[in-house]
A and B are shown apart, each in its own frame.
Chain A
């Protein structure tokens, strides 16, 4: 992984920059001691580490704005960070940049039950939003598995998903308003408690922009009423083909479950061994199908899905009879990553999305690649929306294994793209998939994305080294290459 060469001139000014930042924010909000900065050197993609130049922890929008303005004027790069749970290296620091930690902006500013919205600061955790409103029967729908730790600001940056996206959407579908600090220190407000923002859909592009466009300082999210009932079905199949058929049958039957998760044999056994969720161990594929809504509807849908599952060859069919049992069904799935961690010293989580119908084919190819690369793999899968999480098991202490795991991972992602899918469904590009972007996009496609970047951050100070394999200079991108002024197409129909 090659990061842009650090700007030595900036690093040479470090003391001066620290002093300047201490004039903007409280002295203890600027961290420059190496031991204290150590905790910021990596995010959830722990294979990559870099000590930042300085860490700054502002407490207000005004402080964020002043820090950004200073960095803009002083040509200092900025890496924004929430809880640091990114699995793609989105918050990996830079040797010549500050880490702008937003953990101290952690207040829930307001909740409006009339408009069913909550306005929160970016450092509030995902789960805290739901906890603040559940006594009134509401919740915040996107539920990434890191929801206990990950922040709303980070969720915006990564457009985080979760197991309930199929029915309730990703972060982007649940955000109504943003306050954003631009690299110039200017503050813009987009949308709010209304359903439609005005002008270009900048909320739409900021969500998932991985800290390359601006720093979010306030977020208004949509709250949903909790469904009357939620029940889950645990369905075991002798093969992933049959489980795949069942997924297709459910969707084809006009049913959109709240969640539809799949695990393969190795993942099932690892999870069961770890949390004793009661999973059958004699099946090669397990589906968890959650149905929510009014009681009568859920009972009806449970019966419909059961019938589809049996028709597709399910050998193990269980419906949850209580919330405790439903939680138990989920416990294994939610612990799948740490469970895989017990199988192997290290594991590498992949995150491609594929069309649902390609599931069996892709799993077969992954199994073949597992043989070729000599590394084991366990698969968990948001089957409802085609988002695949193969966990590649490796041992970083064995020379070359990390590199082999990365090569294996890259091949899986290329496979996802080749069957009509994409490189990343919810974890983001970051540094991890940066160099694979050309697999999915042409150079012209990537140029358009960088044009958006140029509109927000013409000097490339925000999170450089992430998302784009090559960051073109904006002046170069802006040049028009014009060929003649004549209508060049005599065959173009006109009237």
Chain B
């Protein structure tokens, strides 16, 4: 087991071509902040691209920036902030979820995992902001796709295929993403005391307004107690959050309208407006799933299992309620309920029938076709034994395998990271 640390595109190409020729599987990593996301890779060698960490061409007036995959998100976001811009897909830093230090996430990593933050409801996912890539396929071929402009339908959008492919098809050597203006102001409107179903209905109502909601989350009491400021909700009460961003007078106007809308809904408690500074801290915690973070170096390396549900928002609360009948859970609802982070158990041992598969059968069974579930945190042993990603029906699984075989014929890039046979 060796670690290859290429410094430039050519060395990435050489490393992958060598691995393909000699059939040595590579575990691909950049910041290594979320190695626990996905199945364990049976890698012969490690390909560490953190040395490819340069900022490329950044043209603020074109709303576009290129960078190498290993560039730290913090570094990149600092560069963009200096020009009054940001990555609008609000990439999370999931390192602490796995007991790591914050600040380890890279651009290549968040794109490879297609991770998007709370602003997803308004501005789209990571894949929507990726305009172009340069990469080396598992066959050891350097190629590019897309470009530096938003409107581009020249050929297949391979950039999107690579976003969210967890390094199983190609290794990025450069990424080009959109850079958008940072909002002048931000505020959060919060209502306390709503049950999960009522809260998601309130968020659906809010998202149906023309007020350009840039975050719609619900924190059940146990989670709210940990991260919501005391001013928002008395201890022991859930809190439902709506974020607004934009030009200051517009934020003020929309906040006023939403306060009125939420106050008029039955069943809700106090409606509070949170200022920009407090709002930023709170949404950062939601973005990074901080309530489920592990303390660094804790004695239970994997901690309690964490699931990520991607689900039709109007059926999320019922699905979580079904899961909660089988095992105590803590939930964080984001994207108006279309994204649910679920932590199973209350710290003690999981009940029999759930412990052996981190609740996989039970959780997936509870979704009833409304969505799908990814096991984002569990011990390596469990992740090797249990399907981490949703199990695909036959024809789709076959198609997935054919895509893998066409780009990574000898199965040397992160083999097994997504599926045992791909």
Q: Do A and B interact with each other, yes or no?
A: yes
Which residues of B lie under 8 Å from residue A256 when comparing CB positions? 180-181
Is A209 part of the contact surface with B, judged by Cβ < 8 Å?
yes
Interface: A208 (CB within 8 A): yes
**Which residues B179-216 have CB closer than 8 A to chain A?**
180-182, 184, 201, 204, 207-212
**Contact flag A200-B22 (CB < 8 Å), given A194-B371, A426-B153, A444-B141:** no
Give Cα distance in the complex from A451 to B170, angstroms. Answer: 13
| A135 close to B (CB within 8 Å) | no
Q: Which of B180, B201, B247 is A297 in contact with, Cβ under 8 Å?
A: B247
- Taking a contact as CB atoms under 8 Å apart, the answer to whether A225 and B124 are in contact is no
- Does A6 lie at the interface of the complex (its beta carbon under 8 Å from any beta carbon of B)? no
A422 and B125 contact, Cβ closer than 8 Å, known pairs A115-B312, A293-B212:
no
> If A198-B372, A205-B161, A452-B158 touch, does A492 touch B6 (CB 8 Å cutoff)?
yes
- In the complex, per-residue mask of B19-50: 1 if CB is within 8 Å of any chain A CB, else 0: 01110000000000000000000000000000
Fill in one digit per residue for B365-400: 1 if any A CB lies within 8 Å of its CB, else 0. Answer: 000001110100000000000000110110110111
Note all chain B residues with C-beta closer than 8 A to A482. Answer: 20-21
Q: Which one of A114, A170, A297 contacts B151 once the chains associate, using CB atoms below 8 Å?
A: A170
Contact pattern, B 54-96, Cβ under 8 Å of A = 1, otherwise 0: 0000011111000000000000000000001000000000000
Cβ contact within 8 Å between A422 and B147: yes
Q: Smallest CB-CB separation from B201: which chain A residue? A: A114
CA distance A485 to B247 in the complex (A): 59
A186 at the B interface (CB under 8 A) = yes
The CA-CA distance from A442 to B3 in the complex, in Å, is 31
B120 lies within 8 A of A195 (CB):
yes
A322 part of interface (Cβ distance < 8 Å): no
CB-defined contacts of A487 to chain B, threshold 8 Å: 18
Main secondary structure of the interface of B (DSSP, over half): mixed
Whether B406 lies near A454 (C-beta < 8 A) is yes
What total of chain A residues lie within 8 Å of the partner, measured CB to CB?
Answer: 109
Range of interface residues on B (Cβ < 8 Å): 35 or more
**Which B residues touch A227, using CB under 8 A?**
210
B217-225, B249-257, B277-285 - the one binding chain A: B249-257
By the criterion CB–CB under 8 Å, are A357 and B402 in contact?
Answer: no
A residues less than 8 Å from B402 (CB atoms): 454-456
10 closest cross-chain pairs (CB), A and B: A204-B160, A297-B250, A254-B181, A425-B151, A114-B314, A186-B395, A193-B312, A451-B406, A455-B402, A196-B310
Given contacts A195-B339, A200-B164, A205-B157, 14 further A-B pairs with CB under 8 A are: A159-B157, A193-B314, A194-B370, A194-B372, A199-B389, A225-B207, A293-B250, A353-B149, A420-B148, A422-B154, A424-B153, A425-B149, A433-B154, A493-B5
Query: B residues within 8 Å of A by Cβ?
Result: 2-7, 11, 14-15, 17-18, 20-22, 51, 59-63, 84, 114, 120-121, 124-125, 127-128, 137, 139, 141-145, 147-158, 160-161, 163-165, 169, 180-182, 184, 201, 204, 207-212, 246-247, 249-250, 253-254, 310-314, 335, 338-339, 370-372, 374, 389-390, 392-393, 395-396, 398-400, 402-403, 405-407, 409-410, 418
